[in-house]
Amino acid sequence: MNFWFLMAGGFISFLGVLIHGIFGTRMYMNNINKSGLDNLTKSLSLVSWHVFTIFLFIGTVALIIIAYNPAYGIAAYPIIIINAIGALLFICLGFGNHAALLKMPGAYLMALTAIFSYLGIIS
């Protein structure tokens, strides 16, 4: 197990927390509030947005714990898999009818989190 690769994965995930949770929320809520959606839909949308931010934060904490406690290495695999699948989702949708997704940092941050975490586990 490689401490620095796991810490890099955790750092990248935390960067996602900051971008998604602070800057992304502002942009997202501006767009949602300007939309014609009803208030309940806006509220549920905001909850979904923050659940994803929580997921990023939990991934950050877990990777840091694993870096310091290699015996917990098996716990990195769900984090690696969900970040890899999330990155693939961004990319597939981006090459489909949602090209704007490729301009956002989500796919890249999730892919890098998965890659560095995997390198941390296998090396």
Q: Which residue has the tokens 């208030």?
A: 39
pLDDT in tens, 11-31: 999 999 999 999 999 999 999
> Can you tell me whether residue 36 is helix, strand or coil?
coil
The span from the CA of 107 to the CA of 85, in Å, is 10
pLDDT in tens, 70-99: 999 999 999 999 999 999 999 999 999 999
The span from the CA of 96 to the CA of 111, in Å, is 19
Residue 104 structure tokens: 């956002």
Residue 99 structure tokens: 């090209």
Rounded to a whole number of angstroms, the CA Rg of the chain reads: 16
Q: Which residue has the tokens 């401490």?
A: 3
Degrees (nearest 5) of the Cα angle 53, 92, 97?
A: 100
